[in-house]
Amino acid sequence: MLATLTGIIIILSVLMKNYALAEAIYQLDTAFSGSTFFDDFDFFTGHDPTNGFVDYQSRSDATSRGLIQATDGAPALMSVDDSNVYDSNINTYDASYASGRPSVRITSKKSWTHALIIADIAHMPGGICGTWPAFWTVGGNWPNNGEIDIVEGVNSASDNLMSLHTSSNCSNDDSQSYGQQFNDQKGGVFAMEWTSDYIRVWSFAAGGVPPDITAGTSPDPTGWGIPKANFQGACSIDDHFRNHKIVFDTTFCGDWSGDASVWSSDSQCGTAASSCNEYVANNPTAFTNA
């Protein structure tokens, strides 16, 4: 069972801003790593807001099922059940209960407004039919306080959708920071910088991570080249983005991955089963690497 392997997440806050050079100087605010990786996250166990074919587990249940691991000197692991068959004829739109394949969704206990977030990810569950993995930040009272999608995709997609959700929506696609191609290059590092003026996202393949990130000194995004996504100008950042928590999750099917037109139009997945729920329910070994 191999899934999301996250070595470390670092959140840096602005120490001061050099307005003459229009750049920020960052200091360490929070780091998640090692055996305590999950201590500062809440485990979501309710009905999936996107109506997925998923049963989100508590920390104790995820541990007993072997869906999470966190040890010193090794990446933290989040995975999904890859052993059991489930009933595909359930109503995932019924909010009275959670149902489907067991998985994990975690949300940071702390929130931030403006930050530089860096995550070293060795493996992700992208590119597998039925999956909808995501690494994102979100504020309360969605979408009024915004959502920033750093990693997101569905089914056999090979492109990473980096996007914002507010009263206005923007998006930007990237082909080497998601799915099997990302895993084949031994993972990589994602960085998201959020200021009053812009939100930018970078992705770096393993071996191509900027030295100021790998050295753990003072990261300087001005030296990282052109970001994969650059959102500014069209949105008033501070009016629409505030108090975000970090979320990691893998759901199945639901409003995007399981949409009938999305499923049938996927040349790999659409021929594997008549519906997303049917495929996810009956093919546990398909999710060994999820």
Task: Provide the annotated active-site residues.
Answer: 147, 152
Cβ contacts of residue 175 below 8 Å, gap of 6+? Answer: 158, 159, 160, 181
CA distance 105 to 41: 10
Which helix (H) or strand (E) segment holds residue 24: the answer is strand 23-33
CA distance 1 to 290: 8
Q: Are 7 and 33 in contact (CB under 8 A)?
A: yes
Q: How many whole angstroms from its chain centre is CA 267?
A: 24
**Buried/exposed 252-276: b ≥16 CB within 10 Å, e otherwise:** bbbbbbbeeebbeebeebbebbebb
Q: Copy the structure tokens of residue 187.
A: 């993972």
